[in-house]
Amino acid sequence: MTTVSAQTSFDRPRAHERGQVALRAEGVHIHYWLERDRSAFLAVDGIDVEIAEGEFVVIVGPSGCGKTTFLDAVGGLHAISSGKLELYGEPIRKPGPDRAIVFQQPSLFPWQTVRGNVGYGLRLAGKRSKAEIAQIVDRHVELVGLAKFGNAYPGELSGGMQQRANLARALAADPQMLLLDEPFSALDAQTRDVMQEELLRIWSVSRKTALFITHDIKEAVFLADRVLVMSARPGRIAEIIPIDIPRPRTGEVKRSAAFLEYEERIQRLLEATR
């Protein structure tokens, strides 16, 4: 059963109390079929959650708990076994342009420049003129801090810069929801910290509804409006924790008493749900 922590003294409306519901999951169960054993196992066991438009929600949980499986279902990459999974009231049955996914590893085309990669989806859709696409690409390349590298190829970029380009490509498609599957996990610690701050800066401009997956508790607390803590497989939501830390956030907040309290609380929950 999902529980929501009590409101703290920080007096602002919850993100999920402010806006229209973007994503709704009711009783979502997801199975995986094991061909060798001719059997199925339960990966996600009854997820119930609503995510508001413009909200940044982070799912944290142990390896194998089903958090990426749930994100894949939201992306239309994996069918649910039962329950309801809806985006703005419409059932999610397949991938669509209303959602964009940023994966763990950069997925840029090595033969395309940064600008070519960012504009790829727009060109493929064929709904805009070359001039419109160029404007959109320029705006998003600048947004992610790659204006000086628009003509560079992925092999000429660092890992962090490649993920910036991935994020620009996702945002350029103007999705209703941004799905991020541990996008910074392959980066070194210093670059990861920088990218977390950059992501919040970009999100503060775009205000896209975001669902972010991570193993990193500190990352979850730093980014989220709410953290969904999942139990070990089969994955259930053990608790939903609103993060009452003012925005904008910088790296200094990670040393605050409130931040450390959230971090410790989530760590205890994860230990209790193994």
The answer to whether position 221 is within a domain reads: yes
What is the DSSP code (8-state) at residue 21? E
**With 0-12 CB in 10 A as exposed, 13-18 as middle and 19+ as buried, what is 165?**
buried
List, for residues 143-171, the tens digit of each pLDDT value. 999 999 999 999 999 999 999 999 999 99
DSSP per residue, 227-254: EEEEPSSSB-EEEEEE----SS--GGGG
Q: Which domain holds residue 63?
A: 1-93+184-189+209-274
Beta strands 237-242 and 226-230 are antiparallel
The answer to whether position 35 is within a domain reads: yes
The answer to whether position 238 is within a domain reads: yes
Which segment of 4-13, 30-39, 71-80, 178-187 scores lowest on mean pLDDT? 4-13
- In contact, 249 and 70? CB cutoff 8 Å: no
The answer to whether position 148 is within a domain reads: no
List, for residues 27-52, the tens digit of each pLDDT value. 999 998 877 777 788 999 999 999 99
The answer to whether position 99 is within a domain reads: no
User: How many CA within 13 A on the CB side of residue 250?
Assistant: 1
**Residue 1 belongs to a domain with what CATH number?**
3.40.50.300
Task: Tell me, yes or no, if the pTM score tops 0.85.
Answer: yes
> How many domains, in total, are found in the chain?
1
**With 0-12 CB in 10 A as exposed, 13-18 as middle and 19+ as buried, what is 54?**
middle
The answer to whether position 85 is within a domain reads: yes
Which segment of 17-21, 52-56, 62-66, 222-226 scores lowest on mean pLDDT? 17-21
> Cα(121)–Cα(17) distance, rounded to whole angstroms?
33
The answer to whether position 161 is within a domain reads: no
The answer to whether position 30 is within a domain reads: yes
Please tell me the predicted confidence (pLDDT) of residue 5: 35
- 56: amino acid identity, one letter: F
